[in-house]
Amino acid sequence: MSEFWAEFIGTLLLLFIGNGVVANVELKRTKGSGDPGSWVMITTAWGLAVYIGIVVAGPYSGAHLNPVVTLSLWLDGALEESKVGVYMLAQLLGAAAGTTLNYIFYKPHYDLTKDGAAIRGTFCTAPVIKNSWNNFFSETIGAFVLMFVIFYISDGAFELDGQEVPVGLGSIGALPVGLLVWVIGLGLGGTTGYAINPARDLGPRIMHQLLPIKNKIDSDWSYAWIPIAGPLCGGALAYYIKELLLTTV
For CA atoms 141, 225, 76, 160, give the dihedral sign.
positive
CATH architecture of 3-248: Up-down Bundle (1.20)
pLDDT of residue 208: 98
pLDDT of res. 170: 57
- Separation CA 126–CA 103 (nearest Å): 18
3-state secondary structure of 164: strand
Q: What residues pair up with 70 in beta bridges, in sequence order? A: none
Q: Is 172 helix (H, G, I), strand (E, B) or coil?
A: coil
Nearest to 46 by CA among 58, 36, 54: 54
Give the whole-angstrom CA distance, residue 193 versus residue 138: 9
Kindly report the pTM of this predicted structure.
Answer: 0.93
pLDDT for residue 156: 47
Block mean pLDDT (10 aa), the chain, length 249: 96 98 96 89 96 93 95 93 97 98 98 97 97 98 96 60 58 78 95 97 98 97 98 97 87
Q: How far is CA 23 from CA 39, 144, 172, in A?
A: 12, 27, 30
Residue ranges per structural domain of the chain: 3-248
If one counts every other C-beta atom within 10 angstroms of the C-beta of residue 139, the result is 31
In the chain, beta strands by DSSP E = 159-160, 163-164
Q: Do the Cβ atoms of 193 and 125 come closer than 8 Å?
A: yes
The confidence score (pLDDT) of residue 7 equals 97
Residue 219: name the closest of 131, 137, 96, 41 by CA: 96
- What pLDDT sits at residue 19? 98
Contact at 8 Å (CB) between 65 and 49?
no
